[in-house]
């Protein structure tokens, strides 16, 4: 059994904390210094329940932020390339990997334009898009999805998780009601030019990458539910998800496509 990533390099840890503070971040915050622990307890279970074997696979962590999911994948034996459009985040992510002793296992890259990825066609077996697609500007989202498709090998998997679902009346990240149902074109008129966050529609996720199958359907939603169980979600929530899965699977839909945060695994045909 793989053991949880541990901070093994104290000097690198101190450099990470100092750099985080210089960015105005609190290194002790869950979404900074403890983000790896969070993803170990969450996204790890999705990867483990979807794949028989992760060791030796090549993965792209798209939108790596401070490196949390990249570090989890590397701990599972995956060779990871992790990219982000934010140069400071990539620097912090590198320092994060160093404190876990995983610098050799992850290549971090700052990529300014993710509609053109600096990779060969079919270079990766896996792509992780963890809480990122909703941040990609809507007018380039499909171009970015097609570019991800270009670099993924046939039969490869795309893991989508934590993506704000635009079918819900409340946008999960901002907590704003109804904004998901309004066109961004109205922001200037209704919200004094604020650039408001919106989710992504499930059909954009299902069809935007190209020719993909919803891999969660193969297990009748059981892999998704098993991952949720491993994450330790409350029993009553699990029961609701199970009941929803039973009904939705009659229509060929998986439950992770209709929850407020989209979670689905796609397989390239
Ligand atoms: C919530 S964080 C992702 C967390 C990360 N995937 C993880 O699991 O540890 C969202 C990230 O998306 C990045 N991002 C936003 N727009 C992007 C784009 N067009 N291409 C790639 N990354 C982008 C942001 O810079 C930010 O770091």
| Helix residue ranges per DSSP H, 23-60 | 35-41, 43-50
Q: Is residue 5 in some structural domain?
A: no
pLDDT at 174 over 90: no
| Residue 222 belongs to a domain | yes
**96 is written with which tokens?**
């994060």
Q: What CATH number is given to the structural domain containing 93?
A: 3.40.50.150
Asked if residue 144 is part of any domain, the answer here is: yes
Which atom of ligand 1 is nearest the CA belonging to 67? Answer: 9
Residue 3 domain-assigned (yes or no): no
Whether residue 4 lies inside any domain: the answer is: no
230 in a domain, yes or no? yes
Q: Across residues 155-182, what is the average pLDDT?
A: 94
d(CA 49, CA 124): 19
| From 64, 135, 197, 263, mutation site for ligand 1 pocket: most ligand atoms within 8 A of C-beta | 135
Among 19-28, 80-89, 178-187, 231-240, the minimum mean pLDDT is found in 178-187
pLDDT of residue 243: 95
Portion of the chain with pLDDT greater than 70, in percent: 100
pLDDT digits (tens, 9 = 90+) for 26-43: 999 999 999 999 999 999
pLDDT at residue 184, rounded to an integer? 84
Count structural domains, the chain. Answer: 1
Q: Ligand 1 pocket test: pick from 72, 80, 84, 147 the residue with the most ligand atoms within 8 Å of its Cβ.
A: 84
Which residue segment(s) compose the domain that 244 sits in?
A: 10-166+177-268
pLDDT for the residue numbered 162: 95
Residue 8 confidence (pLDDT) above 80: yes
Q: Is residue 172 part of a domain?
A: no
Within-domain flag for 82: yes
Return d(Cα 199, Cα 260) in angstroms, integer.
9
Provide the percentage of residues in the chain whose pLDDT is more than 90. Answer: 88
Q: What is the pLDDT of residue 186?
A: 81
In the predicted structure, residue 195 carries a pLDDT above the cut 80 = no
* 64 ligand 1 Cβ < 6 A: yes
CA 184–ligand 1 middle distance (angstroms): 20
CA of 86 to the centre of ligand 1 (A): 8
Q: How far is the CA of 132 from the centre of ligand 1 (A)?
A: 5
């Amino acid at each position: 059994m793989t053991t949880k990533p541990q901070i093994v390099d104290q000097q690198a840890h101190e450099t990470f904390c100092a750099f985080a503070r210089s960015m105005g971040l609190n290194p002790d915050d869950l979404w900074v210094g403890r983000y790896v622990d969070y993803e170990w307890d969450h996204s790890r279970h999705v990867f483990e329940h979807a794949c028989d074997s992760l060791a030796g696979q090549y993965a792209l962590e798209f939108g790596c932020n401070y490196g949390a999911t990249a570090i989890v994948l590397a701990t599972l034996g995956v060779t990871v390339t992790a990219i982000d459009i934010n140069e400071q985040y990539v620097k912090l992510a590198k320092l994060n990997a160093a404190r876990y002793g995983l610098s050799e296992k992850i290549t971090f890259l700052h990529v300014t334009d993710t509609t053109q990825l600096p990779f060969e066609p079919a270079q990766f077996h896996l792509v992780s898009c963890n809480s990122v697609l909703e941040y990609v500007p809507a007018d380039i989202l499909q171009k970015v999805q097609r570019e991800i498709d270009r670099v993924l090998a046939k039969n490869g998997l795309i893991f989508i998780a934590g993506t704000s679902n635009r079918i819900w009346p409340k946008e999960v990240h901002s907590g704003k009601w109804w904004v998901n149902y309004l066109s961004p074109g109205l922001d200037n008129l209704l919200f004094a030019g604020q650039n408001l966050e919106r989710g992504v529609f499930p059909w954009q996720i299902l069809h935007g990458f190209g020719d993909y199958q919803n891999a969660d359907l193969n297990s009748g939603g059981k892999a998704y539910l098993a991952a949720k169980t491993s994450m330790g979600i409350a029993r009553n929530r699990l029961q609701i998800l199970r009941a929803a899965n039973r009904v939705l699977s009659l229509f060929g839909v998986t439950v992770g496509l209709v929850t407020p945060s989209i979670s689905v695994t796609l397989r390239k045909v």
